[in-house]
Structure 1
Amino acid sequence: MKNIVAFLLLGLTVIAASCGDDKKGDDNQWFLTPEAAVSGTTVEMTCQTRFGAGVLDNVHVGFTYAPVISGTIGSFAESTNSRVDGRLISSTLSSLAPETTYVVRAFADLSTGRVESPVISFETGDGEVPAPDPVFGTPSATGVTTTTATLNCDLSFDRDATDYSVYFRYKAVSAGDYLQVSVPVGAGPKTVGLTGLTPATVYEFQLCVAWAGEFYYSGKGSFTTPGGGTSGLAKYSQWAELPVVQDRPGDYYYAAHYCDGAPGGRNYSVCYSKKMRGAVWVAYPMHTSYTEGSAGGQNKSWRYDPVIPASVQPDLSSSYQASGDGSFSRGHMLASNDRQSDKPTNKQTFYYTNMSPQIQDGFNGGIWSTLEKNCHKMICSDTLYMVTGAYFANENKHCKDNDNNTVTVPTHYYKVLIRSKSGNTGKPIWTLTSDQIECAGYWFEHKVYSGSQPSQFIKSVSWIEEQTGQTFFPNVPNAPKATLDGSFWKI
């Protein structure tokens, strides 16, 4: 729609004379210049007046307009749907001739006679209603295996099927260029099967329309191919919380810990870095069967992780030694308060591999503690699955353990979460569709915070994957990691 406020470059005195002889005196003192907003062959007319409030109530007002054809003004018509709002007169002029110049002015029939505004002109458009832009549904991936996946997305597009093309584009998140696969044109569901994918890889994709030199894209979807032949924790295909296991011999160690007491089953899994002497991530289920109770108390049974060689772990029988980079506390990756069902189960949260050096005042005892507590609000009967991670953008800060070993201090900490949207489907999360699942992440620079809330640091899971190089929730093929509904998370 274009706004036009222009005087017709004709002799306006001649035009005024031709519009009728009943105009007396200088009426422009009562009107400002009218304005026209043109959309095809429909024009929205407005004109501000200088009449006092209420003067135009119950007064016949409107606009008179006529086409200009070959330099000659045609017959005038009067608008039939004029409105008054205080001092403003407005009207919609419709069904006008396309690509035609019109002259128009506002009027008011007072008791003393008709008074009229200055004359302006406008030109109508071609009369064609432009086709609406393509409308896309939510992209999803189904049937994801180590090397294959099926992409899906709905398309609504009211257009001749001969002058545009439709295709999916996809790539590994770590790759630079998209690959394209064409699909038939026309409205409706679009689907395509992909083959030759790389195991243990995060992919993103979109449905695209190319039309008249322009490109239109759906929102981004994502999926993660399972790890295929990787060893260790990757074999636990029904542990929804597990990230992809990365093969880093000599550095990464993996361990799965099982509850020694209630509620039974798995407790948590850990990816531990020998080089950093600290956890890379800890993955675990969250349910009231783990959190209800008071088994933690004054437990604090600090000790080596019995699954990972003690020689690569820090000695944290006391806290980290202060250094020139600061003083750090033994920050739990899986919080002690998250495992209150039984004392032996809680004791496992005090393994040294579950610790990370954290600033105490303003971080571990502040915003991080608030985040841990608020995550309990999202526990549901279907189970909430979580990963807590440490990220090392650099290795510039260090501290010492109690055996004088160097420990690298993380630059960032994060949590990623996934659960069913309703919370009570009664089904395994890996069997749900993407619109039945919600996931989100929280990303923090490791520094002192004051007055901040965890909700200020919410991110999509895909965003955190891009920062860390980790791949989350590979065992949940329909996890909507690229989307984020911040209103869903009460954190």
Structure 2
Amino acid sequence: MAWAGCMVESPEYISNGDVTFHFTSSSHTTSATCNVGTTQTYAQVSNVELEYDTAYTVYASCTATNGTAVTSASTTLTTPKVMPTESWLELPAEDTNGLYPNAVELKVNASGVRNYTAYYDNSTYTSMWVAYPLSSSHMGSLSRPSKWYYNPLIDESEQVNLCDHSYEGDTYSRGHLIPNASRNGNEEMQKQTFYVTNSVPQVQNSFNSGVWSNLEDALQSEAKSGETIYIVTGVAFSKVGETKSVSYIQAADDTKDVPIPNYFYKVALKVKTNSSGTVTSASTVGFWFENKAYSDAYTNYAVTVDQVEQWTGFDFFGNLPDTVEVTAESSNDWNAFLAF
């Protein structure tokens, strides 16, 4: 993450008050826009996602009310060598109370930019959750890839061969945890959503293709029109303290027995920050589903993040300030989340 700022002269002559900061490296270009009032003398953007260990040229631009393009002098910055994961608001806390002793965090990055993090349990060949930021810059109109790939971060023997075919039968599909459409604005990031570690057996008809897809669409639409949303999508074989039978399935091209999740969930976070980038308030909402067909709306399955934490044993959004987290995670109001 990075921030940039500049002095503003005659802000009343800036068209719509919009000032855009441009960050350009040898391989990566991004921008961020802020709005200044007619009496402000300083413009600033924060939480801009950049590649780590990379030199950038930075400048600001705006359009004057008479239509003239105005550009500031440029400066340079170099991002840190180590990705500061404590600023990744989507990540659950690392302590899982020993629930998944074989699980590891796989940080999937595209050309140095964070894509998503998967909490992969190689004893069940399952990512128990995938956490990722979602903003308009992640989405576009790239065509859907035709095949899946092994995740290069772990040995192929610890993965299920879903590269060319799905699971046996026609009930379960290769259910994405981070959706293809949440990364179809960047070819490398999109391909990484087709790592087999991002797939779990999910009822296709009237779940993956219905209420679940509708929820994904709603989150994508909200991210396109507003600020970044931080999302964790996960599965559970049983709730904490619950005894529940688990069925198994094999991939068409593999003999490994893959457990079928009994539950799917999503938790989502939006934040507001002050001028220094510190989170001052937040809104969250959760959704919890059984792995089955549905005929009603996803809004009927809204729950609090607190509730999902009780059922899964995970502590979501662990990088939020504690006082903000306690208040935010007690709401299951989808409309309030949208309005935040």
Interval containing the TM-score (normalised by the shorter chain): 0.5 to 0.7
- Contact 2:229–2:269 at 8 Å: present in 1 too? yes
Aligned residue number for residue 167 of structure 2: 320
Q: CA RMSD in A?
A: 2.4
State the Cα distance separating 1:472 from its structure 2 match: 0.2
- Contact 1:270–1:282 at 8 Å: present in 2 too? yes
Amino acid at match of 2:246: N
**Is 1:345 the equivalent of 2:189?**
yes
How many Å separate the matches in 2 of 1:279 and 1:420?
26
State the Cα distance separating 1:425 from its structure 2 match: 6.2
Please point out which of 152, 162, 167 is paired with 1:306: 152
**Is 1:461 the equivalent of 2:305?**
yes
State the Cα distance separating 1:340 from its structure 2 match: 1.4
Amino acid at match of 1:367: V
Aligned residue number for residue 275 of structure 1: 123
Deviations 1:156-209 (A, max 9, x none): xxxxxxxxxxxxxxxxxxxxxxxxxxxxxxxxxxxxxxxxxxxxxxxxxxxxxx
Aligned pairs for 1:104-183 within 5 A:
none
What runs of 5+ residues in structure 1 fail to find an aligned partner? 1-232
SS in 1 for 2:137: helix
Amino acid at match of 2:302: I
How many Å separate the matches in 2 of 1:306 and 1:238?
25
**Is 1:449 the equivalent of 2:273?**
no
Please point out which of 109, 118, 129 is paired with 1:258: 109
Q: 1:356 to 1:234 in 2, by over 3 A?
A: farther
- Contact 1:419–1:439 at 8 Å: present in 2 too? yes
Please point out which of 237, 247, 266 is paired with 1:397: 247
State the Cα distance separating 1:294 from its structure 2 match: 1.6
Q: 1:363 to 1:426 in 2, by over 3 A?
A: farther
- Contact 2:303–2:331 at 8 Å: present in 1 too? no
Aligned residue number for residue 90 of structure 2: 241
Deviations 1:309-367 (A, max 9, x none): 21111111210113xxx731000000000001221121000001100100110111111
How many Å separate the matches in 2 of 1:432 and 1:377?
23
The structure that has the greater radius of gyration is 1
State the Cα distance separating 1:248 from its structure 2 match: 6.5
How many Å separate the matches in 2 of 1:378 and 1:236?
25
Q: 1:486 to 1:248 in 2, by over 3 A?
A: closer
How many Å separate the matches in 2 of 1:427 and 1:284?
23
State the Cα distance separating 1:288 from its structure 2 match: 0.5
How many Å separate the matches in 1 of 2:183 and 2:246?
33
Q: 1:339 to 1:426 in 2, by over 3 A?
A: farther
**Is 1:388 the equivalent of 2:233?**
yes
Amino acid at match of 1:405: K
How many Å separate the matches in 1 of 2:182 and 2:107?
17
How many Å separate the matches in 2 of 1:364 and 1:449?
10
Aligned residue number for residue 411 of structure 1: 262
**Is 1:375 the equivalent of 2:219?**
yes
How many Å separate the matches in 2 of 1:249 and 1:462?
20
Aligned residue number for residue 358 of structure 1: 202
TM-score (structure 2 length as normaliser)? 0.67
TM-score (structure 1 length as normaliser)? 0.47
SS in 1 for 2:193: helix
Q: Decide which moves more: 409-418 or 381-390.
A: 381-390
Aligned residue number for residue 190 of structure 1: none
SS in 2 for 1:385: strand
- Contact 2:100–2:121 at 8 Å: present in 1 too? no
Q: Of the two structures, which has the highest relative contact order with CA contacts closer than 8 Å and spacing of 6 or more? A: 2
How many Å separate the matches in 1 of 2:154 and 2:332?
36
SS in 1 for 2:212: helix
Q: 1:249 to 1:309 in 2, by over 3 A?
A: farther
How many Å separate the matches in 1 of 2:275 and 2:219?
21
How many Å separate the matches in 1 of 2:138 and 2:192?
13
Aligned residue number for residue 432 of structure 1: 279
Aligned residue number for residue 83 of structure 1: none
**Is 1:481 the equivalent of 2:329?**
yes
- Contact 1:395–1:409 at 8 Å: present in 2 too? no
How many Å separate the matches in 2 of 1:365 and 1:426?
41
Q: State the percentage of identical aligned residues.
A: 32
Amino acid at match of 2:156: A
Amino acid at match of 2:284: C
Amino acid at match of 1:475: N
Amino acid at match of 1:352: V
